[in-house]
């Protein structure tokens, strides 16, 4: 029986099977269910084309009332549906009407998640066609609230949970996932979810949300995407006491225990899916994130979205903004509030790009960039007590304790918030930026909206409408002195879907910093004069699929150039090729 099951899984057809698997009377007993005595185990095996009732309950194939008359006949659906036949467009209109009736964003989130579980193509059609309206629901800010309440919201698993209980069995756990051809994994350990801190196992909302963007914005097939949460416990006391908490009820494992589990995971992923699966690390705390990236960057196709994706999107915004604020990149000086993954990741990529442009060593270009952490400006006298990733930023300067004094001392042209702490760009800080810059560039990157360093309104009013402003979570357009300003969304969502697509279509085996620069360049190139005129430094998200194709093509081109691509021959037109590889959510016709 064991062998029979294996052959079935490996694709052998029932007709190819050993004739011994039939019982008297010519009745096939391929699963051994009839032969087994009552005390023997049988396998609940199904091997069928989804039809009838099960077809309606299969989100990947369900079309609801859009099943045609012919499909209703051939797929045993007669009577299981009311008589009306609706087009996908009409279903979309109906769903949008009902989602718009909810006042509470979390209700919209639940409605969308239920739709995804019911009818995956319709879910993606909605998301693709209404990206600007629905992104704030499936992504920041609402996804943050969903993670905080994930225990109460949880109905069905949307990804794989790998906890300390699965130590020694991670390969088996991966094999429990129903899909075999995985191209992208987004994995979190839940320790730094947006700017909301340690949400433990409830961080699952983030890989789920990121991967829905991989499909909607980047065109990766949903079946090729795998959300994973690694649960090593949580230090969030509130969750540990919450009766609905879905994770391990213990404090976080650290040190060797943590790294052994992560190593088993990384090895199992490579063994199960091969070398070319993209592993995106998401929302790990910085004490693990940098180390994991350095450790696995040479053996796996890994990408840390918070360090690298964020760097790429912010560099693109800064480069585009030069058209508005003038000068070259190296003419500007940068001050960050927050010197963690996002802050130092962005700083390093800006320094690298400056170094390439000016042909000066990166050690020199770093001197244009200053960072403030929770203890004040990072300066050389603090060097011995700094974490490694901060050390390159410890420049010669006297100690400065707070942001306002640092702004006054450094006089940056660009101010970037990556602290995870809301309202830290105070009125005084914004006014100081406006006092010595004609057009200060202010980026408040922290998510969700509650953690944004300032609002769009605060940035525009505090600078009398002179600021160029972008934020990690979206803000509505703001009218000041009769002019409407459209704040840009400086979020790695612009980058990672196209970046991942570029890796996949080129068969890249490693990520290289030059690919991040390539992605950034492609994004900056998509901002039009019309966008600039409205104060925007990013193109509208409504064009995101086109933008993702451009990013994918630039990233793939770089992978070929660096000899890191394995898919040969190289397609001549990479943009067209990227577009042709993209998943579309229109219904398929069933034979
Ligand atoms: N827009 C986007 O695309 C992205 C946005 N983010 C957002 O950026 C934020 C930070 O993420 P990440 O870099 O990963 O987090 P980290 O924890 O790695 O870094 C946070 C940094 O902020 C500093 N900090 C915290 N509180 C203060 C304070 N009151 N004053 C000054 N500095 C402070 C910390 O200081 P210390 O080192 O001393 O503890 C640390 O250097 C999050 O809100 C996240 O949502 C992240 C990725 C992408
Ligand atoms: C956007 C993102 O990745 C973050 O806030 O962590
Ligand atoms: Mg993140």
Which atom of ligand 2 is least distant from the CA of 193?
Answer: 6
Instruction: Kindly report, residue by residue over 295-337, the tens digit of the pLDDT.
Output: 999 999 999 999 999 999 999 999 999 999 999 999 999 999 9
Q: Whose CA is nearest to atom 6 of ligand 2?
A: 194
Contacts made by residues 456-462, CB under 8 angstroms, sequence distance 24+: 456/485, 456/487, 458/425, 458/427, 458/430, 459/425, 459/430, 459/487, 460/485, 462/427, 462/430, 462/431, 462/433, 462/434
Contacts made by residues 52-61, CB under 8 angstroms, sequence distance 24+: 52/76, 52/77, 52/80, 53/80, 56/80, 56/81, 59/116, 59/117, 59/118, 59/119, 59/120, 60/120, 60/222, 60/223, 61/590
pLDDT beneath 70: ranges in the chain: 1-36, 42-48
SS3 (DSSP) at 483: strand
- Token look-up 């404090």 returns 251
Q: Which residues of 160-182 are buried (b: 16+ CB within 10 A; e: fewer)?
A: bbbbbebeeebeebbeeeeeeeb
Residue 539 CB-half CA count within 13 A: 20
Per-residue model confidence (pLDDT) at position 5: 36
Active site residue 576: no
Q: Whose CA is nearest to atom 17 of ligand 1?
A: 340
**Burial (CB count within 10 angstroms: exposed 0-12, middle 13-18, buried 19+), residue 297:** middle
Distance of CA 418 to the CA centre of its chain: 17
Residues in a beta bridge with 470? 443, 488
Per-residue model confidence (pLDDT) at position 581: 95
Q: Whose CA is nearest to atom 3 of ligand 2?
A: 306
Task: Determine if ligand 2 sits within 6 Å of the CB of residue 407.
Answer: no
Neighbours of 192 (CB within 10 A): 24
Per-residue model confidence (pLDDT) at position 42: 65
Say whether the ipTM exceeds 0.90.
Answer: yes
Which atom of ligand 2 is least distant from the CA of 210?
Answer: 3
Minimal CA–CA distance to 416: which of 460, 350, 364, 462?
350
- Considering only CA atoms, give the Rg of the chain: 26
Per-residue model confidence (pLDDT) at position 381: 98
Query: How far is it, in rounded angstroms, from Cα 191 to Cα 367?
Result: 31
Per-residue model confidence (pLDDT) at position 443: 98
Cα distances (Å, whole numbers) of residue 445 to 142, 206, 317, 489, 557: 16, 17, 12, 9, 29
Task: Determine if ligand 1 sits within 6 Å of the CB of residue 99.
Answer: no
Query: How far is it, in rounded angstroms, from Cα 419 to Cα 197?
Result: 12
Minimal CA–CA distance to 130: which of 102, 99, 151, 84?
99
- Enter the tokens of residue 128: 């693709």
Q: Which ligand sits nearest to residue 213's alpha carbon?
A: 2
Kindly report the pTM of this predicted structure. Answer: 0.93
Active site residue 124: no
Which one from 31, 109, 139, 583 is the annotated catalytic residue?
A: 139
Query: How far is it, in rounded angstroms, from Cα 524 to Cα 313?
Result: 9
């Amino acid at each position: 029986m064991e062998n029979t099951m294996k052959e079935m899984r490996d694709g052998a057809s029932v007709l190819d099977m050993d004739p011994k698997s039939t019982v008297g009377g010519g009745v096939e007993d391929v699963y051994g269910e009839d032969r087994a005595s009552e005390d023997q185990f049988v396998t609940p095996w199904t091997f069928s084309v989804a039809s009838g009732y099960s077809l309606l309950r299969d989100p990947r194939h369900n079309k609801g009332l859009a099943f045609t008359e012919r499909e209703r006949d051939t797929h045993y659906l007669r009577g299981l549906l009311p008589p009306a036949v609706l087009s996908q467009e009409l279903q979309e209109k109906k769903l949008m009407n009902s989602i718009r009736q909810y006042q509470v964003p979390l209700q919209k989130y639940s409605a969308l998640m239920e739709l995804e579980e019911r009818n995956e193509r319709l879910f993606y059609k909605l998301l693709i066609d209404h990206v600007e309206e629905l992104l704030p629901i499936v992504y920041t800010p609402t996804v943050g609230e969903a993670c905080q309440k994930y225990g109460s919201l949880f109905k069905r698993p949307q990804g794989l949970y790998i906890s300390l209980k699965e130590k020694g069995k991670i390969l088996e756990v991966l094999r429990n996932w129903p899909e075999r051809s995985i191209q992208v994994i987004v994995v979190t350990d839940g320790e730094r979810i947006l700017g909301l801190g340690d949400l433990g196992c409830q961080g699952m909302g983030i890989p789920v949300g990121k991967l829905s963007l991989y499909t909607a914005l980047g065109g990766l097939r949903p079946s090729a995407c795998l959300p994973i949460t690694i649960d090593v416990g949580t230090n969030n006391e509130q969750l540990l006491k919450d009766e609905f908490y879905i994770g391990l009820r213990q404090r976080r494992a650290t040190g060797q225990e943590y790294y052994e589990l992560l190593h088993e995971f990384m090895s199992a992923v490579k063994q199960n899916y091969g070398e070319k699966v993209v592993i995106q690390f998401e929302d790990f705390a910085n004490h693990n994130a940098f180390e994991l990236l350095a450790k696995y960057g040479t053996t796996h196709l890994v990408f840390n979205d918070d360090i690298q994706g964020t760097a790429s999107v912010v560099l693109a915004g800064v480069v585009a903004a030069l058209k508005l604020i003038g000068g070259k990149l190296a003419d500007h000086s940068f001050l960050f509030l927050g010197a963690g993954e996002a802050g130092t990741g962005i700083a390093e990529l800006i320094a690298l790009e400056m170094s390439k442009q000016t042909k000066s060593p990166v050690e020199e270009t770093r001197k244009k960039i200053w960072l403030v952490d929770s203890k004040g400006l990072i300066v050389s006298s603090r060097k011995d007590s700094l974490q490694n990733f901060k050390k390159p930023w410890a420049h010669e300067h006297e100690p400065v304790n707070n942001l306002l004094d640092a702004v006054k001392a450094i006089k940056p042209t660009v101010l970037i918030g990556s602290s995870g702490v809301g309202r830290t760009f105070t009125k005084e800080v914004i006014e100081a930026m406006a006092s010595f810059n004609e057009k200060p560039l202010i980026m408040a990157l922290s998510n969700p909206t509650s953690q944004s360093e300032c609002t769009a309104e605060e940035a525009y009013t505090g600078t009398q409408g002179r600021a160029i402003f972008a934020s990690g979570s979206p803000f509505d357009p703001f009218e000041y002195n009769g002019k409407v300003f459209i704040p840009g969304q400086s979020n790695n969502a612009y980058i990672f879907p196209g970046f991942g697509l570029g890796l996949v279509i080129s068969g890249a085996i490693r990520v290289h910093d030059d690919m991040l620069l390539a992605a950034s360049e492609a994004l900056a190139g998509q901002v039009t004069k019309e966008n600039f005129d409205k104060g925007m430094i990013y193109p509208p998200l409504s064009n995101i699929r086109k933008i993702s194709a451009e990013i994918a093509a630039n990233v793939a081109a770089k992978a070929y150039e660096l000899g890191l691509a394995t898919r040969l021959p190289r397609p001549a037109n990479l943009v067209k090729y990227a577009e042709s590889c993209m998943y579309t959510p229109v219904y398929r016709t069933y034979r």
